[in-house]
Amino acid sequence: MMLTFLLALAPLTAQETFLKDVMPILNKAGCTSGPCHGAAKGKNGFKLSLRGYDPEFDYEALLYDISGRRFNRADPARSLMLAKPTMQVPHGGAMRFDATSPYYKTILNWLSSGAPFGSPEKDKVVRLEVKPAELAYNGPGSSQTVTTVAHYGDGSTRDVTREANISSNDLDVAEVSETGVKALRTGEAALLVRYEGKFVTVPLTVLNPKAGFAWNALPQHNYIDRLIDAKLQRVKILPSPPATDEEFLRRVSLDLTGLSPTAKEIRDFLAEPGDARAKRSRLIDRLMQRPSYVDRWAVKWGDLLQNSRKYIGDKSTWGFREWIRDSIAMNKPYDQMVRELITSRGSAYENPAANYFRVTRDPKPSMEKTSQVFLGVRMVCAQCHDHPFEQWTQNQYYEMAAFFAAVGLKPGYETGDEVLYQRRDDYEIKHPKTGRPVAPKYLVASVGAPALSTEGDRREKLAAWMTSKTNPFFAKAIVNRVWSYFFGKGIIDPVDDIRASNPPSNEALLAALTKDFTDHGFDLKHLMRTIVNSRAYQASIATNEWNAGDRINFSHQSPRRLSAEQLMDSVEAATGSRPKFTEVPEDTLAQQLPDPHVGKEGFLDLFGRPQRESACECERRADLSLPQALNLVNGSDIAQAIADPKGRIAKLITEGASDRRMVEEMYLATLSRLPDAKEYDQAVTYLKGVEGRAGRAQDLMWALLNSKAFLFNR
Amino acid sequence: MIVCQYPGMLTSFLIFAAFAQTYTADVLPVLRKQCQGCHQPSVKQGNLDLTTFAGLAKGGNRGPAIPLLIDYVTGKRQPRMPLGAEPLPEEQIAALRRWIEAGGKDDSPAEAVPSSAPQLYRQLPLINALAYSPDGSLIAVSGYREVLLHKADGSGIAGRLAGQADRIQSILFTSDGKTLIAAGGAPARSGEVQVWDVASRKLLRAVEVSNDTVFGASLSPDGAKVAVGCADNSLRVIDVATGKEERKIPHHENWVMATVFGVNGKRLVSVSRDRAAKLTDSTNGQFIENVNLLRGELSAVARHPIRDFVVVGGEERVPYYYMMDRPRVMKIADDTTLIRKLEMQNGVILALAFSPDGKRIAVAGAADEVRLYDPETGDRTAALRGHKAGIYAVTFSPDSRQIATGGFDGSVRIYDAVSGALKTEFLPVPLERRASR
């Protein structure tokens, strides 16, 4: 009876449905936004799903909540859902649209014709089409308009330009306004166009408007340079030539081993005969064999795996550190290393890889960490709602978490130990909406992934899927991450936020690196060796008129502030003072520390050493702050190191070194190069004289330590 | 409607408006758009309500608002209004200023009174309230701005009680069957309690209560008082004979959704979106204690016909059956008064009813079926199917043999309370065919 009645009312024009017509209004008018009713707890007792990701929920909220309070079917125009946004009654969220607007009419028509939900097959957007598909500007200043067309399940289309949301991922390059997309400066950006849960990214290029660009081919060391040059040529950027041997030596030593070169190493390298490229390659191989190479990368992996006694206790921290160091020292294939972590079991004292799960004890954080660290995918938003800018849904969050559901931890035989075991009952992850157990499912399908069944250890299957060469994220994520350690920026950046709306700056380069990496059996050393042998890595930080503005195409190197550990170890190496950490053996370097417990709240933390509270790369801060500057200028750490009675300056003074030698030694120890003629003159003049010579030498050392050339890897 | 009836008045009004600023044409629209978000009855920032002329004239913490208006919007007084938003455009400020200089007069038209002609329906109203008359001959059903009295067998309409309130949330009969009380209102606009003489179908009195619909009304056992829940978090007690509001009880921290008196009428249980079922002394309004352990938001309560036992339910989907008296000394957050919990429902609970013989509890809500339980064992005895969407009202017939239900789909259904079989189904209102477009 109801149905015939509703059919009788159906107007001749197309029927408005909630899915196709009303939901976009709620999103555009801001009703479903985070600060308003889309908030986790809603607003003033009325909750909608964030940005309308769950139309069923929103439909029920509008029509059914509080016994249908917001819907007046007998007199639709009196419905609270129309009175509120038009401010016919007071509304804390102010007026969203007025009673003469098309939005109002659409909602009123919809309510008057029985408020149908619509058909998920026909009325949902299946695809967005953005015209043009790519934006190119011949220079800053001009604007272009973008049209968005939604394609629906029933084959129909609609121009949704007005309701679609467009944002630019680089507001310095392009800005979006009501009138169009305006180019602001030379460079590249990506536009993200969103509508009703679908999104499209639109690449945008603003070319340098200057005339007279002429490509100047530099030597290409390997495929990296070929792929970078191809892109540079296309966007009219000229790469910088390689850095000097001294610059390269310091850069590559810091990057591979965490330490600056010693004076002897510098002199030897500069004196080494032969072709510059071959010489640099030999150096790279030597550096990768050093114990300090292990120190350096153990810090990185300690960060990512959150090795800290806060979570796993004193003894396990050392055990986990050893496991990490062994893996690096033997250059364990990356897929194997990850498999060992993901499938770890047993006593954490006997198998330190199990500490991976002692840090994040519960399935959900374990899943979030695993996807962020090893797949570069951030799932955390999807715990409460579908990801606003990505394809990930709340269902997928729980399907992935289900892989870790059976991970159990119980006390081991020894004090402080814990045993990771497979739980046998009542471990299933339940979906928060339905309260029903969720079966594990891979995030995306990939060729050759093992079929999922209810038997066996789910983690084995997850590990097999993850570490497969065909996994679309696994190898790409680590390649991109490692790249960022040598350039200060990933090809996709941030490195642990891989998503369609965050495209790589050079897709071909990332693909080639990924393929090379998997072709070489997930060999991390091979990957690093390839990167540091490239001309792009070895390029100078000096820029030319065509690449000065480039920040994403690796046309020149960029100075990177030394990490906390690098800085501390470099200060000590330069001044000849010795590290003074408690609880660790004498002369333990900053980069050899097991966890952030040692040296807590000191120099290292000030300079951004992460507390290992999260697996996010962002926890390590590389900024320069005022407290850091004050510490360098006035702090006791630097002052004491310089004035160390057994330190470099004291030694040079007591040896009776000449002014010239003192200057030379100090430059080599700090800036890893010899002073130029002018620097010699100035420094020697300053040191001259007998009275207070040590004090003046200390001043000079202090000035060098405070110079940008020392504080940055360049 | 008003406009059509008095075209002359509208014209003169427009001519007048061309020369001077008026409250309704120039001031109210500005206040509505710029100020009422915060200065409204349910928020009342600065104790100020700018939704009515009276509120504007009365003012808030700083005294009458008319003389202060310009100072605040220009920033002469801080903080400048509207807080955290762009200043008002010059022409709006100028209009406000001219209106104040001209004396700041109120020209609000008198409240529109709905015509007494029967409501015409093109679509079915949602059903929010149902009640059997004590003799079992009538069933009262909520309509839009009216209560419809149906013959209890569903054979037709016996009377229509047209009132002001858009929505009727509760319908109650006094035990002698002579008086009907309907409570409800217009969401975010006004609340109302209506008292009707059943025999003559005449409205005896209507009482305005709060600025929003009132929820979950209940009658004291002697029929003298009616308790209602309000969206301003208060629980109010109104004298039926005089319409006087006797008490405004402020114990809850969120909307009060349902109420019920104890057997002797001296105590009152109210449930709220603040998750509490609170026990109040109805003779003096004093808070006694919480009946329940806080879990989810609550929306419904029903009491055993002769014992001080109540069943409460809401967001958590689980009906909890509590006693109002505490067998042992109270401890913080204990749950010793819980008799039992019933099974979890498929949707949020919105309506509960106890059969007059005390043998059944009916549970309804966002799920499309009503379930009946034996309060002694907690076992489900029947599931009433047929509704197509949420069910907002359930009530037992006085002989406990039938149960009437209604909700989103707008149909009244009557079931056998023992077998759960659907006995009859009818539309409570006559539907008009839509005029051709």
Structural domain spans, chain B: 2-101, 130-426
What pLDDT is stored for residue B108 in this prediction? 77
What pLDDT is stored for residue B12 in this prediction? 46
The DSSP element (H or E) to which A455 belongs, if any, is none
What pLDDT is stored for residue A453 in this prediction? 74
Q: How confident is the model at residue A92 (pLDDT cuts 50, 70, 90)?
A: confident
Q: Is there a contact between B389 and A64 if contact means CB atoms under 8 Å apart?
A: yes
Q: Is there a contact between B390 and A68 if contact means CB atoms under 8 Å apart?
A: yes
Q: How confident is the model at residue A155 (pLDDT cuts 50, 70, 90)?
A: very high
The answer to whether residue A233 scores a pLDDT higher than 50 is yes
The answer to whether residue B333 scores a pLDDT higher than 70 is no
Instruction: Tell me the pLDDT tens digit for each residue of B337-354.
Output: 899 999 999 999 999 999
**Closest by Cβ to A83, choosing from B188, B427, B434:** B188
Q: How far is B124 from chain A (nearest CA, A)?
A: 6
For chain A, percent of residues with pLDDT exceeding 90: 76
In this prediction, residues A400-421 reach a mean pLDDT of 94
What pLDDT is stored for residue A11 in this prediction? 43
Across the A:B interface, residue pairs with CB atoms under 8 Å apart total 101
ipTM: 0.82
What chain A holds in terms of domains, given with CATH numbers, is 2-112 (no CATH), 125-206 (2.60.40.1080), 564-607+624-713 (no CATH)
Instruction: Tell me the pLDDT tens digit for each residue of B77-114.
Output: 888 888 877 888 888 888 888 888 888 888 877 655 55
What pLDDT is stored for residue B247 in this prediction? 94
Q: How confident is the model at residue A105 (pLDDT cuts 50, 70, 90)?
A: very high
In this prediction, residues A23-28 reach a mean pLDDT of 93
Q: Confirm or reject contact between B37 and chain A (CB < 8 A).
A: yes
Residue B125, amino acid = P
What pLDDT is stored for residue A454 in this prediction? 66
Interface probe with B: pick from A67, A72, A434, most Cβ of B within 10 Å: A67
What's the sign of the alpha-carbon dihedral A583, A585, A587, A589?
negative
The answer to whether residue B434 scores a pLDDT higher than 60 is no
Q: Alpha-carbon dihedral of residues B111, B115, B119, B125, nearest 10 degrees? A: 10
What pLDDT is stored for residue B383 in this prediction? 96
Instruction: Tell me the pLDDT tens digit for each residue of A540-550.
Output: 999 999 999 89
In this prediction, residues B9-34 reach a mean pLDDT of 65
Q: Which residue does chain A place closest to B393, by CA atoms?
A: A67
Q: Which residue does chain B place closest to A66, by CA atoms?
A: B350
- The two structure tokens encoding residue B98: 């001219």
What pLDDT is stored for residue B116 in this prediction? 56
The answer to whether residue B175 scores a pLDDT higher than 70 is yes
Q: Confirm or reject contact between A71 and chain B (CB < 8 A).
A: yes
**Closest by Cβ to B166, choosing from A72, A90, A112:** A72
Q: How confident is the model at residue B435 (pLDDT cuts 50, 70, 90)?
A: very low
What pLDDT is stored for residue A688 in this prediction? 86
In this prediction, residues A430-442 reach a mean pLDDT of 86
Q: How confident is the model at residue B14 (pLDDT cuts 50, 70, 90)?
A: very low
Q: How far is B281 from chain A (nearest CA, A)?
A: 27
What pLDDT is stored for residue A83 in this prediction? 94
For chain A, percent of residues with pLDDT exceeding 70: 98
The answer to whether residue A351 scores a pLDDT higher than 90 is yes
Angle of helix A693-705 versus helix A659-671 axis, rounded to 10: 20
Q: How far is B409 from chain A (nearest CA, A)?
A: 8
**pTM for the predicted model, two decimal places:** 0.74
Q: What is the Cα–Cα distance from B99 to B85, expressed in whole angstroms?
A: 23
The three-point CA angle B332-B291-B391 to 5° equals 135
Interface probe with B: pick from A57, A60, A66, A434, most Cβ of B within 10 Å: A66
Residue A608's nearest CA partner among A628, A636, A634, A581 is A628
What pLDDT is stored for residue B7 in this prediction? 45
Domain B130-426 maps to which CATH number in 3.40.50.410, 2.120.10.10, 2.70.150.10, 2.130.10.10? 2.130.10.10
CB A204 within 8 A of CB A188: yes
Q: Is there a contact between B188 and A76 if contact means CB atoms under 8 Å apart?
A: no
CB contacts under 8 A, B 375-414 vs A, are 388-390, 392, 407-411
A50-64, A281-295, A532-546, B9-23: which range is least confident on average? B9-23
Q: Is there a contact between A60 and B366 if contact means CB atoms under 8 Å apart?
A: yes
**Closest by Cβ to A74, choosing from B125, B188, B437:** B125
**B160: phi then psi, degrees, rounded to nearest 5:** -130, 130
What pLDDT is stored for residue B110 in this prediction? 67
Q: Which is higher by pLDDT, B436 or B416? A: B416
Residue A643, amino acid = A
| Chain B contact set for A63 (CB, 8 A) | 408
**Closest by Cβ to A87, choosing from B33, B124, B409:** B33
CB contacts under 8 A, B 108-137 vs A, are 119, 121-126, 128
**Partners of B412 in the beta sheet?**
B426
CB contacts under 8 A, A 111-130 vs B, are 112, 114
Burial class (CB in 10 A: 0-12, 13-18, 19+), A203: middle
Q: Confirm or reject contact between A63 and chain B (CB < 8 A).
A: yes
Q: How confident is the model at residue A451 (pLDDT cuts 50, 70, 90)?
A: confident
Q: What is the Cα–Cα distance from A114 to A76, expressed in whole angstroms?
A: 9
Q: Confirm or reject contact between B83 and chain A (CB < 8 A).
A: no
Q: Which is higher by pLDDT, A450 or B145? A: B145
Q: Confirm or reject contact between A70 and chain B (CB < 8 A).
A: yes
- The two structure tokens encoding residue B196: 């009707």
The whole-angstrom distance between residue A109's C-alpha and the CA centroid of its chain comes to 46
Interface probe with A: pick from B24, B50, B88, B123, most Cβ of A within 10 Å: B123
Q: Confirm or reject contact between A661 and chain B (CB < 8 A).
A: no
Q: Is there a contact between A93 and B213 if contact means CB atoms under 8 Å apart?
A: no
**Contacts for B180 with CB less than 8 Å, ≥ 6 apart:** B131, B140, B147, B161, B171, B172, B173, B174, B195, B196, B198
Q: Confirm or reject contact between B188 and chain A (CB < 8 A).
A: yes
What pLDDT is stored for residue B170 in this prediction? 97
Q: What is the Cα–Cα distance from B124 to B19, expressed in whole angstroms?
A: 46
The answer to whether residue A424 scores a pLDDT higher than 70 is yes
Q: Confirm or reject contact between A68 and chain B (CB < 8 A).
A: yes
Q: Confirm or reject contact between B420 and chain A (CB < 8 A).
A: no
Pairing of strands B380-384, A187-195: unpaired
CB B32 within 8 A of CB B24: no
Q: How confident is the model at residue B18 (pLDDT cuts 50, 70, 90)?
A: very low
CB contacts under 8 A, B 135-154 vs A, are 143-144
Q: Is there a contact between B37 and A90 if contact means CB atoms under 8 Å apart?
A: yes
CB A29 within 8 A of CB A85: yes
**Closest by Cβ to A11, choosing from B42, B187, B437:** B437
**Closest by Cβ to B187, choosing from A69, A92, A93:** A69
**Closest by Cβ to A89, choosing from B38, B189, B392:** B189
CB contacts under 8 A, A 3-62 vs B, are 5, 8-9, 11-12, 45, 60
Q: Is there a contact between B166 and A5 if contact means CB atoms under 8 Å apart?
A: no
Considering only CA atoms, give the Rg of chain B.
24
Pairing of strands A135-137, A198-206: parallel
Q: How far is A298 from chain B (nearest CA, A)?
A: 48
Instruction: Tell me the pLDDT tens digit for each residue of A179-228.
Output: 889 999 988 999 999 998 888 999 999 988 888 899 999 999 999 999 99
Q: How far is A99 from chain B (nearest CA, A)?
A: 13
**B322: phi then psi, degrees, rounded to nearest 5:** -120, 155
Pairing of strands A143-144, A180-183: antiparallel
User: DSSP assignment of A380-431, as one string?
Assistant: GGGGTS--TTSS--HHHHHHHHGGGTTEEEEE-SSTT-EEEEE--SS---B-
Q: How confident is the model at residue B35 (pLDDT cuts 50, 70, 90)?
A: confident
Q: Which is higher by pLDDT, B329 or B420? A: B420
Instruction: Tell me the pLDDT tens digit for each residue of A297-315.
Output: 999 999 999 999 999 999 9
Q: What is the Cα–Cα distance from B205 to B163, expressed in whole angstroms?
A: 10
Q: Is there a contact between B255 and A83 if contact means CB atoms under 8 Å apart?
A: no
CB A150 within 8 A of CB A196: yes
| Chain B contact set for A36 (CB, 8 A) | none
| Chain B contact set for A87 (CB, 8 A) | 32-33, 36
What pLDDT is stored for residue A257 in this prediction? 97
Instruction: Tell me the pLDDT tens digit for each residue of B225-281.
Output: 999 999 999 999 999 999 999 999 999 999 999 999 999 999 999 999 999 999 999
Q: Write down the mean pLDDT value for chain A.
A: 92
The answer to whether residue B43 scores a pLDDT higher than 80 is no
Q: How far is A122 from chain B (nearest CA, A)?
A: 23
Q: Confirm or reject contact between A1 and chain B (CB < 8 A).
A: yes
Instruction: Tell me the pLDDT tens digit for each residue of B284-310.
Output: 999 998 888 888 999 999 999 999 999
In this prediction, residues A361-390 reach a mean pLDDT of 89
